[in-house]
């Protein structure tokens, strides 16, 4: 055979093999690419669900309303402090469980010296401190307040949004 024809034939055979590989690769590659895209879409959905679940559950408006009724007198209407501390940096660093515990059950108080006895006298003194008649009370415990107990999750929702910067000052939308 003539050398030019041999070269042409080898080139034609190589081209046919390459075309076959490309077609085969396309047959394998396109589904693989589509599967990768589907996988990315499938991964985006759980990620969005996780992000949504990580957001506090509650009504922003109800939390704002309870804050204005019970907390704004001391902490200011936008929670940045008045006669009591700015809550935003504190809430930014705590989870909902800790927040609920602090609001409902914890308060700082000091018993007057020599009055830390036991029994009914101690209970009466604690009641006087809680009701702000005696001693130093920095934060009341709200577990006996039905409105706060019912909306403490909403309160956390509003305060955590304020702390994160996703909620501005003023009344949120209902």
- Position 161 scores a pLDDT of 92
Alpha-carbon distance of 40 to 165, in angstroms, equals 30
Q: Is the pTM of this model over 0.75?
A: no
- Position 130 scores a pLDDT of 56
State yes or no: pLDDT of 29 exceeds 70.
Answer: no
- Position 164 scores a pLDDT of 92
First to last CA, the chain: 88
State yes or no: pLDDT of 98 exceeds 80.
Answer: yes
State yes or no: pLDDT of 89 exceeds 60.
Answer: yes
Compare 72 and 129 and report the one with higher pLDDT. Answer: 72
């Amino acid at each position: 055979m003539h050398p030019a024809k041999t070269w042409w034939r080898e080139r034609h055979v190589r081209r046919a093999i390459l075309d076959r590989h490309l077609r085969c690769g396309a047959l394998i590659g396109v589904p693989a690419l589509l599967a990768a895209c589907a996988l990315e879409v499938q991964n985006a959905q759980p990620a969005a669900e996780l992000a949504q679940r990580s957001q506090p559950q509650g009504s922003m408006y109800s939390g704002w309303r309870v804050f204005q009724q019970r907390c704004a007198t001391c902490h200011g209407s936008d929670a940045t402090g008045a006669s009591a501390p700015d809550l935003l940096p504190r809430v930014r660093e705590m989870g909902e469980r800790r927040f609920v515990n602090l609001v409902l059950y914890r308060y700082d108080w000091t018993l007057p010296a020599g009055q830390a006895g036991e029994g009914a006298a101690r209970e009466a003194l604690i009641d006087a401190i809680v009701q702000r008649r005696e001693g130093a009370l920095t934060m009341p415990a709200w577990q006996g307040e039905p409105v706060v107990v019912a909306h403490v999750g909403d309160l956390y929702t509003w305060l955590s949004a304020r702390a994160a910067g996703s909620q501005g000052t003023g009344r949120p939308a209902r």
